Amino acid sequence: MPDLSQFPITGRWPAQNSDAIQLYSYPTPNGVKVSIALEELGLAYEPHLVTLSDADVKSPEFLSLNPNNKIPAIIDPNGPDGTPVELFESGAILIYLAEKTGKLMPEGAAKYEVLKWLMFQMGGIGPMFGQLGYFHKFAGSEIEDPRPRQRYINEAKRLLAVLDKQMEGRDWIAGDYSIADIAILPWLRGLEFYGVKDVRPAVQTGLKIPSPAERQANIDDMPGRGNQTITAPANRLSNAGPLAG
Ligand SMILES: N[C@@H](CCC(=O)N[C@@H](CS)C(=O)NCC(=O)O)C(=O)O
């Protein structure tokens, strides 16, 4: 059994099974990317709930793992060189897990298609939707200047249009089901929270069909298996609410 006591974070969030990947996370879009990938890959992992409060993410123990004070982060006790590996940034974690298992990311030229769309999420959808959420939902009424909110609405709409175009005639964003889909999905599902108030009725209804039991059966048949890989096509969500313009 690897000894994880060298990692200060284990003092605050102790490892029960030090042979399993230690996941420090919270169920936000960035957080669930990693838990979805771990579930899809069937890797043994131990989740630790790290809230977004300063008491957690800015604690010395958490900062020792991620100096950028953000979830998600992991420790893999069984890293590539036989020693533990620490990782933060959800995109880096997804690439690491895909390379560790040889799954959810192809080899050769197709790998770079996946990486392109993964980076599109990491550099575009994530930060822009995050800012939209801040200006539209959290700080909206306190900031009188309409320009920041409008800027992020425009940018979110533009990004969704890019996604729509890429998804034309495809089931997955880049070739087969991959870490790029896993990275994008939680942000599309989170659109309502991140500013889309008036989702089109057909979308509201469609997101609930099939019923959970039937949906689970469908998902089990999907490439890559999975229990949380529900698709939310961008081309339906992009016409919704304040993003519709
Ligand atoms: N680029 C980072 C972003 C992570 C991120 O923004 N995490 C947020 C929650 S979704 C967080 O931990 N916020 C706490 C804080 O900023 O204090 C990633 O993809 O891992």
Question: If we measure between CA atoms, which residue out of 38, 199, 124 comes closest to residue 232?
Answer: 199
Question: If we measure between CA atoms, which residue out of 116, 150, 144 comes closest to residue 131?
Answer: 150
Determine whether the shortest distance from the Cβ of 32 to ligand 1 is under 6 A.
Answer: no
Provide the residue ranges of all domains of the chain, joining segments of one domain with +: 9-101, 109-214
The predicted-structure confidence for 106-137, as pLDDT tens digits, reads as follows 999 999 999 999 999 999 999 999 998 888 87
The predicted-structure confidence for 155-200, as pLDDT tens digits, reads as follows 999 999 999 999 999 989 999 999 999 999 889 887 776 655 555 5
Q: What span, in angstroms and rounded, lies between the C-alpha atoms of 103 and 110? A: 13
Q: Mean pLDDT across the stretch 205-220?
A: 48
Determine whether the shortest distance from the Cβ of 69 to ligand 1 is under 6 A.
Answer: yes
- Judge contact between 132 and 156, C-beta under 8 A: yes
Question: Which CATH number does 9-101 carry?
Answer: 3.40.30.10
Q: What span, in angstroms and rounded, lies between the C-alpha atoms of 93 and 87? A: 6
Q: Mean pLDDT across the stretch 9-23?
A: 97
Whether residue 67 has pLDDT greater than 60: yes
Determine whether the shortest distance from the Cβ of 89 to ligand 1 is under 6 A.
Answer: yes
Q: What span, in angstroms and rounded, lies between the C-alpha atoms of 119 and 202? A: 31
75: β partners: 22, 86
9-101 shares its CATH topology with 109-214: no
Distance 31 CA to ligand 1 centre (A): 8
Q: What percent of the chain has pLDDT over 90?
A: 63
Measure Cα distances from 34 to 38, 45, 51, 202, 214 in Å. 6, 11, 16, 30, 25
Which structure tokens are listed for 227? Answer: 């229990």
Determine whether the shortest distance from the Cβ of 57 to ligand 1 is under 6 A.
Answer: yes
Distance 244 CA to ligand 1 centre (A): 27
Instruction: Write the residue with the smallest CA distance to atom 20 of ligand 1.
Output: 89
Q: Which of 95-99, 205-209, 221-225 is least confident?
A: 221-225
* DSSP of 2-70: ---TTSTHHHHS--S-TTSEEEEE-SSHHHHHHHHHHHHHT--EEEEE--SSHHHHTSHHHHTT-TT--
Residue of higher predicted confidence among 55 and 242: 55
CATH architecture group of domain 109-214: Up-down Bundle (1.20)
Q: What percent of the chain has pLDDT over 70?
A: 77
The predicted-structure confidence for 26-46, as pLDDT tens digits, reads as follows 998 999 999 999 999 999 999
Could you tell me the pLDDT band of residue 235, with boundaries at 50, 70 and 90? very low
- Please provide the average confidence, as pLDDT, over all residues in the chain: 83
Question: If we measure between CA atoms, which residue out of 26, 29, 30, 27 comes closest to residue 13?
Answer: 26
Q: What span, in angstroms and rounded, lies between the C-alpha atoms of 42 and 61? A: 28
Instruction: Write the residue with the smallest CA distance to atom 15 of ligand 1.
Output: 70
Global pTM reads 0.82
Whether residue 228 has pLDDT greater than 50: no
